[in-house]
Amino acid sequence: MSAPDRIRSLVKSALPRPLVAAMRRRSRAKLLASTNPVSRCFGLDRGGTPIDRYYINAFLGQHAADIRGRVIEIGDRTYSKRFGGDRITQSDVLHVEKQPDVTIVGDLVSGRGVPEAAFDCFICTQTLMFISDVRAAIASLHRSLKPGGVALVTLAGISQICRFDMDHWGDYWRFTSMAARTLFAEAFGDRDLNVKAYGNSFAAICLLQGLTTEELTREELDREDRDYEVIIAVRAVKDGQRSGGAR
């Protein structure tokens, strides 16, 4: 943290909380009044936590016990490390291209390179929006799990275009909780399928404008409004007894 930032932090910590809240509201009002977004990369260039990641963390934290055994994650091990800990016996990273941390090069649409009936948990965050044949990808995800294995998936609801992915792979879809339930029930059935939506109108506006989690209060983030689905989260279990016994 720079010296000016440290000074600002010290000053804020000495101010009454109602005054700090009022300052935050005035600052946000100025940012939200513009027709141009504050950030086009979800606030990452502003040093904050993207608002959608707040909901992803909440979902994965709630289901951390599912992240155990042999776990596979798309792109990197961020969430496996954060929520799996010593419950993980083997950690794999799947990507369509070979990269330093990738252990499995494979294609979810064709299933090429993706082992079948191999994983106890599949973490798939913010990925299916960038796959044109989303049904085929979900079917491959299902095949990759052991009987009783768990898919933990998040999908974008209300969100801007992700320009990097649009230019590299394509950005095809935004989802609703109904769409997610329909798609995953086709592959997993609906007996052990849970779909939850996170967000509200204010959180959606702030996400679209590029504000960050740190600029909102917990109350503002945690309020749920069924008409404004920012993140859709899916927990789907493959039929069969889970290795090591049921939880």
Q: Top-level CATH class of 38-237? A: alpha beta
Of the candidates 152, 146, 153, which has an alpha carbon nearest to the alpha carbon of residue 244?
146
Could you give the maximum distance between any two Cα atoms of the chain, in Å?
58
Q: How far apart are CA 94 and CA 117, in angstroms?
A: 15
Q: Are 74 and 127 in contact (CB under 8 A)?
A: yes
Domains of the chain, residue spans: 1-33, 38-237
Q: Are 33 and 53 in contact (CB under 8 A)?
A: no
Give the pLDDT of the chain (247 residues) as one tens digit per residue. 455 455 445 444 544 445 444 545 667 777 787 889 999 999 999 889 999 999 999 999 999 999 999 999 999 999 999 999 999 999 999 999 999 999 999 999 999 999 999 999 999 999 999 999 999 999 999 999 999 999 999 999 999 999 999 999 999 999 999 999 999 999 999 999 999 999 999 999 999 999 999 999 999 999 999 999 999 999 999 997 654 433 3
Reading the block at residue 59, the tokens are 């979902």
50 DSSP assignment: B
Lay out the sheet containing 193-198: strands in order across: 104-105, 88-95, 69-74, 119-125, 145-156, 231-237, 193-198
pLDDT of residue 133: 98
